[in-house]
Structure 1
Amino acid sequence: MKVLLLGSGGREHALAASLAKSPLLTRLIAAPGNPGIARHAECMPVAVDDLDGIVRLATEQAVDLVVVGPEAPLVAGVVDRLAEAGIKAFGPSAAAARLEGSKAFTKELCEKHGIPTAAFRRCRSAEDARAAVKSFGAPVVVKADGLAAGKGVTVAETLEQAYAAVDAIFAGDGGEAVVEEFMAGEEASLFALVDGRTAVILGDAQDHKRAFDGDKGPNTGGMGAYSPAPVLSPALIDEAMESIVRPTVMAMAEDGAPFIGFLYAGLMIGPDGPRLVEYNVRFGDPEAEVVLPRLKDDLLELLLAAVEGRLKGVQPKFRRETALTVVMATRGYPGAYRTGSEIRGVEKAEARSGVTVFHAGTKQDGDRLLANGGRVLAVTALGADASEAQMNAYSAVDLIKWPEGFCRRDIGWRAAAASEEG
C-alpha cells in the first residue's frame, strides 16, 4: 500500500515509525515531514493547510490511504476534500471534527446526551464571559472556543486571572469562550480508535502540560508523557468508554456526522469517577510518542479497519513495559523563542537500548540538525516500570548537547514514585 502521512511533528514521527513496520506498506510519503520522519518516508514540501496541494499530491502519487496527523486540516475539511476526489483517508470529516474544533459544540453535546463533564456556560461576549466567571467563582476554567494548539485553556486561580483570560479571548475581532467549573482530581488521557459506530481502546497516557518542574509555569502543548497511566485502572477505563466515549460516538452517528479516526478523551479522575475535560480528534502529542512504541499490532491494519468499518471485535494489544517521553524545547517556549540553534548527540541518545528520539520541530542544514520550533525533540524510553523508563529517558536526554534547549526533569514523577513504592 502507498500511504501519505500529513504533518511534521513528533506525533507524525511516531506514526511514521509505526506505519513503517507494517508488511502492508510499500511506500510511505510524508507532507511536509521532518528530518526524523525522513528516515521512514519520502518527504514532500506540501503544507498541511494546503488542501488543494494535498489532494493534488495524493492523486498524482496514487496513494491508497491518507493518514492525517494534526487537527487543523481535519477541522478545515481535508478528509471531505479527499473523499470528493475518491481518495480514502483516516480521520474525521469536518462535521465530526467539531468535537475538537468547537469546545462549545462538545459541551452542548455532552449536556444533551448526559455525558459526565464540568458545568459550563457558552459565552459570545466578554461581558457574558465575565458574568459566567463571577457566577462560578475561583478557581475557574476559561477556554477559547476554537483551536488553540493545546494552549487555549486558562485554569484561573483568581478572578483577576480569569478576567484577563476573557479579555485575551475577546480582544480584537473577538471570538467565543466556554467558562467551566473547576474540576478537582487527576488528569489522564484515553485514546480510542473509531470506525463510525465502534470504538476500541487504543491506549492511555498522562502528560505534563505546565512548562516547568513541579507543574509550574504556563500551559504548553505538553512537556512529556508516560503510558500506561496508573490512575486509569481497567475498571475506570471501562467506565470512561461506556459513559463518555461510546455515547459520544453514537451521538455523532445519530446526528449524521459519524466519527472515524483517533478520538482522544482528556479525562479528570475525581471521587465521582471519570469526567470529560475535552476531546481531541487526532492522536495526542506527546502521547503518541509513548502509546505507539507500546503497540504490538500492525498500526496500518488497524487504521484500515477503522476506515472500512471493521473494528467490531478488534482489541489492540500492547507491550507490558512503560514508555516515558521527555520533551526538549527551545528556551522561551511557550512564549517567544529563537529558532536555528544546533543540536548534537541525538545519535548517541538513540544508541541506548529502548530509546527513540522523535523529531517534533527540527530541520536539517547539511550535516547539522537545527531547532525549528518550540517543542523540538521527544526523547522516549521503555522500561519495566515507570521508574526505570524515567531513568532510561533522562540518561538519553543527558547525551544530547543543546545549550539553547530545556526540559522538565520530573516527567512521570507520580508514576515513578508509585512504582518505587510498589
Structure 2
Amino acid sequence: MKIRRILATAVAVAVTTPAVMLSVTPAFADTQPAAQADAQARSQAKPTVKELEKAAAEAQKAYETALAAKEAAYQAVEEAFSDTAPHAVTAKAARKAAEDAATAKDTADQAVVDARTALDDLTEDATEEERTTAQKALSEAEAAAATAATAKTTADADAKAAATAADDARIAALRADNTAQKTLDEALAAKKAADAALARAKEEEDQGDGECVDEPGLTTVVTGFPSTVTAGTSTTFSVRVSNGTGKDLGQVLTYAGVHATDKTGVKDIATYLKLTWSTAASPKWQNVDGDLYIDAIGGLKQGSHADIKLRLDVDAKSPAGQGLTFIAGDYFNEDGSCGLTPDAAVNEFDIKAAAVKPVTKPTPTPSTSAPVAGSGVTPQGSGSSVPVNTTSGTLAATGSSDTTTEMALASGAAVALGAGAMFLARRRKAGADA
C-alpha cells in the first residue's frame, strides 16, 4: 500500500519555506477559516525526492556543525577546569600572594610584640640612649605591622577577585556547553525528521500507486471539546463515526492522537497528556494503542453510526502550553479494499498550569455547529478546529505573532507541521500494516 508523503511534505515546508514557518506561531494562534487554510495548504507544492535529499543533506551538515561545536564546548570546559587555565594560574598566584602577605603580617605583629617586650624589660639603670633605641625599634615595628596589614587586606581582596573570576570562567564554559548540547539535540531531531521524510518519499516511489481511497462519506464528528484544559484535570468528549459511504464497511477504526508543546512552541510536553477511550459496550476506560487506533466499532452498516467517548488526562505537573488532538476514521474490508476520512478533525486547546489552590474542573461546552460535509472537521465549543488535509499532505497554517522571534516561530512551525505529519503518516503506516 502506498504511504503518502505527509511527513516529507511537512519537513520540506518547515525547512525550505520561511514564509510558512513564520505563519505558524508556537501558540497555534488564531486559526484561518477552514476553506482559506485548505486552499493555502493545497497551494504548497509537494517536494520531490531531490528536494528532500537536499534538505536531508543540509540537516546532516547542520548536525555535523552542531556536533563539532559541542565537542569544542566540552573541550573548553575541560580547559576551564584545568589547573593550567589562565584564570586558574592567576587565582593560584593570588592565593599564594595572600598567604605570603598573611605570613608577613604575622611576622610584623610578632616584631611589635618583641619590640614592646624589649622596651618594657629595660631596667631603671638603662641609659637614655638605650631607651631611645628601644622606642625607635617599637615604632618601626608598629609601622611595618601596619604596612603588612594593609598589604594583607589588598592581597586577600585580589585573591577573592581572582577566585571569583575563575569561577565565572568555569560557569561560562559550562553554560556554553549546555547551550551547545541543546543545539546538538535540536539538530539531531531535525536530521532524523529529514532522514525520515526522505525515506518515506523513497518508500512511496518503491511501493507503486496502490493505496487506500479517500472516503468523504466516512466522517468523524467531535463534540464537547473545550478550548482550555487545566493541568491535573480530566476532560471527556465524544466522537461519532458515521457511515455515509453508501456501502457496509467491514471494520472501522478510529484514529486518535494528541500533541502538545509549552508556551514557546518548541518543547514537546505530550508526555504529560494521555488519551483513553470507552464505549457503551466497553465502559471501562482503555488506553489508545501504540498505533493511535481505537478498535472499538467493528463493522458499520451503511447509514449507521457509532459513538466513542474519549478522555484527555493532563498531568498535574504539566507546564502551561498549547495542544492539538487529531481524530480520524479508517475502514478495511475482507476483500482488501480500504479507505479513510480525507481530513482529520484537529482541535486546538490551551493548557493552563495547575493553580496553587484547587480549582474547579472545567466543564466542556458541546458545539452546536454542524461540520462541513465529508470534511471530518468539527468546530468544538469555543475552541478552534483546523483540517489536516491528507490528500495534499500538508498541515493547515495558522496566524503569526509579531512579537515572537523568527527562530522560535520556525521551531514552532516545524513542531506543528511535524506533529500533524507524523500522526497522519503513522496512521497510513498502521493502515498499510493492517
Shared fold per TM-score greater than 0.5: no
More helix per residue: 1 or 2?
A: 2
Question: Looking at both structures, which has the greater relative contact order when contacts are Cα pairs under 8 Å and sequence separation is at least 6?
Answer: 2
* TM-score between both structures, scaled by the size of structure 1: 0.22
More strand per residue: 1 or 2?
A: 1
